[in-house]
Each structure stands twice: as structure tokens, then as C-alpha cells.
């Protein structure tokens, strides 16, 4: 049987150009959204220490900014809301660990208030985050 003329018009390869175009567009979208996500985090300058200890993992992170701004789970909170969140977390897991990231220029009084709010929420294991010198 001889091949017909329509068999010559068949495409035997796969055109990957549309797939590459879609992949590049998705890559660009992910790169742009990743920069927005990193900007949501509160940037703090941690105090420096000589001896570094391993942070407990997994742990909840509370961030205290230079001007007293307070964040928990990348959301702005006040001390009362932080205490409620800590009470809920310690109710779910009594062994929950919290790391407080406080800016090195924050006042001692404000840090004490945050630590008190965490402790009043029932959390027993609290650590302060620091950078190594």
C-alpha cells in the first residue's frame, strides 16, 4: 500500500514553544511575588553575641521592631492579641517554643512587655534571637 498525500502533512514532533512560554511567565510571576512576601516581614537588627546556640525548631516567632511594632506570623498584633494567640498555641501544644526577635535598639521596657505577654499566654519556653559577632 502506497502512502497517501495526507500522510506527508502529519507532524511527528511536539512543539514545545508554548510550554516554554508558559513556564517563563510562571517563573516571572513567582519571582515578583517572592519579593512582595519578603517585604512583609519586619526587618530587625539583632544584637550580636560571641557564643551562638541552636534555636529550637520548630518554634513560633514574635518580632519586635525598632519603633515598637509587633508582629506574629507576619501580621501586626498588639500585646492583648499576642497573649490570646500564645494562650491558643500553648493550649494546643503545652511544649510550644517561642523565639522573640527584638531589634537591638528597642527599649528594655518594651521587650519586657512582650516577654510578659508571651508568658501570660502560658508559654514556658521563650528564647531571644541574636546574631553571632
Residue 23 and residue 73 share a domain? no
Give the Cα separation of 104 and 102 in Å (integer): 6
Q: What is the pLDDT of residue 42?
A: 59
Please tell me which residue, 123 or 32, carries the higher pLDDT value: 123
Q: What local confidence, expressed as pLDDT, does residue 15 receive?
A: 84
Q: Look up the domain containing 125 and give its range.
A: 48-132
Residue 71's φ and ψ, nearest 5 degrees, are -130, 140
Helix (H) or strand (E) holding 101: strand 97-102
Question: Is the same domain home to 36 and 17?
Answer: yes
Same domain (yes/no): 66, 109: yes
119 and 74 both lie in a single domain = yes
Question: Is 4 part of a structural domain of the chain?
Answer: no
pLDDT, position 23: 94
Look at residue 82 and tell me if it is in a domain: yes
pLDDT of 125 > 90? The answer is: no
pTM exceeding 0.85: no
Q: How far is residue 107 from each of residues 78, 90, 102, 112, measured CA to CA in Å?
A: 16, 27, 10, 9
Residue 21 has pLDDT above 90, yes or no: yes
CATH of the domain at 111: 3.30.420.270
Amino acid at each position: 500500500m502506497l502512502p497517501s498525500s495526507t500522510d506527508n502533512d502529519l507532524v511527528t514532533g511536539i512543539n514545545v514553544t508554548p510550554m516554554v512560554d508558559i513556564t517563563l511567565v510562571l517563573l516571572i510571576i513567582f519571582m515578583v511575588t517572592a519579593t512582595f512576601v519578603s517585604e512583609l516581614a519586619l526587618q530587625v537588627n539583632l544584637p550580636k553575641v560571641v557564643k551562638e546556640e541552636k534555636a529550637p525548631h520548630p518554634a513560633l516567632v514574635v518580632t519586635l521592631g525598632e519603633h515598637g511594632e509587633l508582629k506574629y506570623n507576619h501580621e501586626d498584633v498588639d500585646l492583648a492579641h499576642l497573649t490570646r494567640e500564645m494562650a491558643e498555641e500553648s493550649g494546643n501544644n503545652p511544649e510550644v517554643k517561642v523565639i522573640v526577635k527584638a531589634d537591638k535598639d528597642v527599649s528594655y521596657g518594651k521587650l519586657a512587655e512582650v516577654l510578659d505577654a508571651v508568658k501570660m499566654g502560658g508559654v514556658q519556653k521563650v528564647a531571644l534571637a541574636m546574631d553571632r559577632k
